[in-house]
Chains A and B, each alone.
Chain A
């Protein structure tokens, strides 16, 4: 069964510092992986997705993620944090339970950006 684990429920960085949010996946088949962002009291927006075309995936707002099969990881990074990046971030894997439609989310990582 597909699942994802996000390491660290809360990450705090200074403005201008590197952002690294960790996600490890468990999948019996090649995974389709996603990162979503949620701002307070809102729905989720897609940041980027991995669909096996390229291991380094670039997303919106300067974020990128690298798929590493050997480490079963899909960590999200951004070279320089902005105050506007403060939000909750969710890693997700598509499929599972015999369905191509199910999206299974991690528990989320809350990113705080300090001035």
Chain B
């Protein structure tokens, strides 16, 4: 089945620790995204990548880092600099290309990150 796989489903972080959230897609999509979801605040864009080996900051990139070494993978690292990391993290992908404005996003099932 084609889709987006996020792991783990639940993750706990100790103070001062970096943690990495995995996102893998087998849809052959060029574009990938990370969103953070907090109750009552909707989704906010952390980082996005339009193509392999390239990525851009979203609206709330501070305290996060990403890499895009392979087309199918877009891991997100939550660093110790992110002081309020507890949230639901969603990875998404889309076909991409030069006119992506009307295309839809495909979402993973999310990772719930909590601080110990």
Contacts and interface: CB of A to CB of B under 8 A. Distances in A.
A90 B42 contact: yes
A46 B106 CA distance: 8
A51 B101 CA distance: 9
A101 B58 CA distance: 10
Nearest to A94: B101
Nearest to A93: B101
A102 B110 contact: no
A101 B108 contact: no
Interface residues of A, number: 26
Contact of A95 (B4, B56, B58, B101): B101
A41 B110 contact: yes
Contacts, number: 65
Contact of A32 (B50, B94, B101): B101
Contact of B43 (A9, A97, A105): A105
Interface residues on B, range: 20 to 34
B107 A44 contact: yes
Contacts of B110: 41-43
Chain A interface mostly: strand
Contact of B45 (A32, A102, A108): A102
A105 B110 CA distance: 17
Interface of A: 9, 32, 34, 36, 41-46, 49, 51, 90, 94-95, 97, 99-108
Interface of B: 4, 31, 33, 35, 40-45, 48, 50, 56, 58-59, 90, 92, 94, 96, 99-102, 104-105, 107-110, 112
